[in-house]
């Protein structure tokens, strides 16, 4: 449980960093709208989003707050009570931190501050919390695939052959 507390605190720290970045984006970008970061590649653009990914469920603030709160509570409890491999703990910490960062925005103002815009593709503007959640989900998929691979390679009998060789 002590190890789990460390990762919950890590998630809280990520949410705190996300909030600081959004305060900076609001103070710096709101007056100008946008500013190049790497010209032709990525720009900083101030956007308010009242939905979730790709503006899905726009205008459904109560639903987004309720579902996100329940999911994040489950993730925090899972981190605290379940023994997990380190990679899986990191994935849940990232998901917790990113989800909490955007949840704070939804509760406080009703909208999420986004500020990163890829210019070379048609992609929604996003923020640090979104990066945390997406990276966490990607690492979770990787972790699960590695676990499945490990289980698949476990010898079926004492003859040293893996299941794939049998």
The tokens describing 72, both together, are 């994040």
pTM: 0.85
- The single residue of 105, 114, 159, 165 carrying the catalytic annotation is 114
Domain boundaries, the chain: 2-152
Listed in sequence order, the DSSP H helices in the chain are 2-29, 61-81, 86-109, 128-153
Look-up of token digits 């710096």: 28
Question: What is the per-residue pLDDT across 74-88, written as a single tens digit (0 to 9) for each?
Answer: 999 999 999 988 889
**Does the pLDDT at position 6 exceed 90?**
yes
Tell me, yes or no, if 130 is annotated catalytic.
yes
Model confidence pLDDT, tens digit, residues 133-150: 999 999 999 988 988 888
Is residue 50 over pLDDT 70?
Answer: yes
| Confidence band, pLDDT 50/70/90 cuts, at residue 158 | low
Q: One of 50, 130, 159, 165 is an active-site residue; which one?
A: 130
Give the mean model confidence (pLDDT) for residues 110-125. Answer: 93
């Amino acid at each position: 449980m002590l190890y789990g507390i460390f990762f919950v605190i890590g998630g809280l720290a990520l949410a705190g960093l996300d909030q600081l970045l959004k305060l900076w984006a609001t103070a710096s970008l709101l007056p100008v709208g946008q500013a190049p970061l790497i010209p032709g590649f990525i720009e900083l653009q101030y956007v308010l989003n009242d939905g979730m990914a790709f503006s899905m469920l726009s205008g459904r603030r109560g639903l987004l707050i309720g579902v996100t709160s329940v999911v994040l509570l489950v993730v925090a409890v899972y981190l605290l009570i379940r023994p997990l491999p380190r990679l899986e703990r990191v994935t849940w910490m990232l998901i917790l931190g990113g989800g909490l960062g955007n949840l704070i925005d939804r509760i406080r103002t009703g909208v999420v501050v986004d500020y990163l815009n890829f210019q070379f593709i048609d992609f929604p503007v996003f923020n640090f919390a979104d990066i945390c959640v997406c990276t966490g989900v990607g690492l979770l998929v990787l972790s699960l695939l590695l676990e499945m691979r490990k289980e698949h390679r476990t010898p079926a009998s004492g003859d040293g052959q893996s299941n794939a060789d049998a």
